[in-house]
Each structure stands twice: as C-alpha cells, then as structure tokens.
Amino acid sequence: MPDRPVFRFAPSPNGELHIGHALSALIGYQQARAAGGRFLLRLEDIDAARTRPEFVAGILEDLRWLGLDWEEPVLFQSTRMPAYRAAARQLETMGLLYPCFATRSEIEAAACAGDRDPDGAPLYPGLWKGRPQRHIDDALAAGRPCAWRIDMAAALRTAAVILRMRPLTFVELDAGGVPQIVEARPERWGDAVIVRKDVATSYHLSVVVDDAWQGVTHVTRGRDLYAATDLHRLLQVLFDLPEPVYQHHRLIVDSDGRKLSKSAHDTSLRSLRKAGVGADEVRRRLGVG
C-alpha cells in the first residue's frame, strides 16, 4: 500500500449528477480527508456518443457547489484508449479473449430464457466461442463489427493457477467500516464483453486499468456496482494488479423504490440547486457531513 490512501469519484459525463452521485462523492471525499488521503476525480467518458461537454462542466460545477475539491488534473478516460488497447491485447495473448460478431437480437434469440447476468442482460450463449478461424476471417472480411469477450471458463482456470487455488475474493468495508472478505463470483457474468463493438474498451476494462494506474486504494461506489466488482477482481488477478478495498454504499431510491436515473431531473443536483436547496441541506438529507 502507498503511504497515503487514494480515493476517487468516477462519474460518467452522460447526464446530470443526482443525489445518488452526491452520496458516492461525499462519502469518498470525507473518508479521504479523514484518512489523510488523496481524492481524485476521473471522468469516465469512453462513450463518445453519450458524452457531452455541458455534462462535464455541470459535474465540475455540482461537485464544487457540494464543497468538494480534488487533485488536478482530472483524468478523462477518453485520453487513455492506448492503455485499454494494450490491456485487451494482453488478455488476447493469454488466450482469454475471443471475437464475437453476434448481434444483440441473435444473442437474445439463442440465450436460454431466464439466464441473465447481474445487469439483467441475457447470458451470452457462446455463439462465437471456439469458432473456426475461417468463420472469423470471413466475418472480418465482410467488415462485420465485433466485440471481444472474455472466455470465462479459461479466465477462471488461469486465475486459479495465479492464486494457487485460493478463492477469488475482495475486501468490502461494511457500513461500520469493518473489512469483510467477500467471495467473488465472476462466472455469473458469463463470457462478458471486455472490448465493445463501438468503443475499443468497456466500463469493466477501463475501470480496472485506471484504478491501478492512478494508484487507487479505496473504491467507494453504489451497491448497483457490487456484482461488477467480481469481474473487476478477476481482471486485477489476470493483470497482476494491486487490490483496492471496496465499499458499496446504499442506493438512494425514488418514492417508488426505484434507483435514481440520470433522466430523473427532479433529483439532479442542478435542479435542487435551482429550487433553492443548499449544499448543506443535501448533505443533511444524505446524512453525510
């Protein structure tokens, strides 16, 4: 571990921040301050089609309004594509990635009903796994776009060798800040997409590469990303990267008990601010600070 713990807040600039994001940012910031640690801001803007400059500006403005500051420069993931490409190549060299040309509807049609990944997407039914090279060459020659998927069974075998058969786990700080060892079950993601068709990376790959590159020791994020940590731990083991400590905080839900979405403007920090709600009031409502 480095001398000073490193915390980060990593929003995606494809919408306005809402009070759920404020909770993540405030918890991470407060913990960083309490631990004498560093607090970093990373904008996860790999999705060029959904990223907008006004969302980037809005995020910075909202966080300043909340009373947060962070180390400069802010890291923009769109500047890190060569690092993601290199990481994907490493997995490919290890024989753990394969190209998949299947469309969403082909996957939907071939998937077993009820077999879903933790995000609710159909579990990939292996359509392009183990295909002969000439099928791949034909698809490439026809200019069909492809994603790159992890061969989960092979990745788990490799990880087991690296871990000398110890279980794959992560450390989760519970609500009282006490570390708990949690067994990771990345297999529930099946052969997940590591390199998307439209972008030469994925959330999972970029987050793992950048948390390590930025020396992040503490990842504070919502419980909606709890299952993603299983896959992140697997990638960290395969890349031989250090293991951060995780804390997945409670989610803020709307009056119907649903997770807040970026389109729910009434809970965006910007609209709260416009309605005359102060940052202190937001912190009080969230019970932070």
Contact residues for ligand GLU, defined by CB under 6 A: 10-12, 44, 207, 221, 225
Task: Indicate the residue among 11 and 122 with the shorter CB distance to ligand GLU.
Answer: 11
Contact criterion met (CB below 8 Å) for 184 and 170: yes
Task: Indicate the residue among 195 and 219 with the shorter CB distance to ligand GLU.
Answer: 219
Instruction: Give the nearest distance from C-beta 210 to ligand GLU in angstroms.
Output: 9
Instruction: Give the nearest distance from C-beta 221 to ligand GLU in angstroms.
Output: 4
Task: Indicate the residue among 119 and 183 with the shorter CB distance to ligand GLU.
Answer: 119
DSSP annotation of 253: B
Task: Indicate the residue among 80 and 221 with the shorter CB distance to ligand GLU.
Answer: 221
Q: Provide φ and ψ at 188, rounded to 5°.
A: -70, -10
* CA atoms within 13 A of residue 211's CA, in its CB half-sphere: 29
Burial class (CB in 10 A: 0-12, 13-18, 19+), 146: middle
Task: Indicate the residue among 75 and 152 with the shorter CB distance to ligand GLU.
Answer: 75
Instruction: Give the nearest distance from C-beta 12 to ligand GLU in angstroms.
Output: 4
Q: 162: which residues sit within 8 A by CB, 6+ positions away?
A: 237, 238, 240
Instruction: Give the nearest distance from C-beta 25 to ligand GLU in angstroms.
Output: 10
**Distance in Å from the first CA to the final CA of the chain:** 27
Task: Indicate the residue among 159 and 260 with the shorter CB distance to ligand GLU.
Answer: 260
Q: What's the Cα-to-Cα distance from 10 to each of 41, 44, 187, rounded to whole Å?
A: 6, 6, 25
Residue 91 three-state SS: helix
Pairing, β 75-76 against β 38-43:
parallel
Instruction: Give the nearest distance from C-beta 140 to ligand GLU in angstroms.
Output: 31
Instruction: Give the nearest distance from C-beta 193 to ligand GLU in angstroms.
Output: 16
Q: What's the Cα-to-Cα distance from 46 to each of 29, 65, 217, rounded to whole Å?
A: 24, 26, 22
